[in-house]
Amino acid sequence: MKKTIKWMWQGIDVFITVVLASMIVLVFTNVVLRYGFSSGIRSSVELSRLCLVWIVLLGAAVVLRRGEHLAIAEFSERFFPSAVPILNRLIWVVILVSSGMLFVGAMNQTIANWSNISPLTGLPTALFALAGVVSGLLIVMISLVRIFDPSWLTDMEDQE
């Protein structure tokens, strides 16, 4: 099970890398074409924006899993050291509820906009909201694991 999950997260890392590289190529090519040849790729702006949305939302899930999000814990660790495990679980419950709301809202937007096709790219506009669905689902899974077994994901990273 842990190998499958590790493989999934490595796949997400590779996907983010490929999407970032393609976004860089799209934007660079478009800049060269616009300023060098007074033309451009019409769909590159929308595609690069779609890439950015996917990078940001999947990246949020990746850094949350790794524990690299910005956190300020000095106050609770200094004044309430015995309450830190309870406060951490409470924080994960808040993250769970928030990411659940993200998942439900993004799913509704994906369903509502799947038939709306972008005139520039020919892709469904729901692909923007689909990034929220995937990210919300990943964050929900991370939150559930951290609520019930906070060391599980950390142990998995130590084995890498």
The band of 153, judged by pLDDT with boundaries at 50, 70 and 90, is: low
Tokens of 97: 């509820």
Residue keyed to tokens 């998995």: 156
> Are 134 and 58 spatial neighbours (Cβ–Cβ below 8 Å)?
yes
Local confidence band at 119 (pLDDT 50, 70, 90 cut-offs) = confident
In this structure, of 17-21, 63-67, 102-106, the range with the lowest mean pLDDT score is 63-67
Lowest mean pLDDT among 45-49, 51-55, 81-85, 120-124: 81-85
Looking at residue 152, its pLDDT comes to 60
pLDDT at position 17: 95
- DSSP sequence for 71-101: ---HHHHHH-GGGHHHHHHHHHHHHHHHHHH
> From CA 85, how far away is CA 31, in angstroms rounded?
50
Residue of higher predicted confidence among 134 and 82: 134
Q: Per the structure block, which two tokens stand in for 16?
A: 């983010």
Predicted confidence band at 96 (pLDDT cuts at 50, 70, 90)? very high
Q: Is 130 exposed, middle or buried (0-12, 13-18, 19+ CB in 10 A)?
A: buried
Distance from C-alpha of 20 to C-alpha of 61, rounded to nearest angstrom: 16
pLDDT score at 157: 52
Map residue 124 onto helix, strand or coil.
Answer: strand
Q: In terms of C-beta density within 10 A (0-12 exposed, 13-18 middle, 19 or more buried), how is residue 33 classed?
A: middle
Q: What is the mean pLDDT of the chain?
A: 87
Which residue did the predictor score with more confidence, 146 or 107? 107
Q: Which two tokens stand for residue 64?
A: 């949350």
Q: How far are the Cα atoms of 19, 157, 158, 160 from residue 151, in angstroms, in the given order?
A: 31, 10, 10, 15
Cβ-based burial of 131 (10 A; exposed 0-12, middle 13-18, buried ≥19): buried
Q: What is the pLDDT of residue 37?
A: 87
Q: Is it the case that residue 74 has pLDDT exceeding 80?
A: no
Mean pLDDT of 138-149: 90
Confidence (pLDDT) at 36: 86
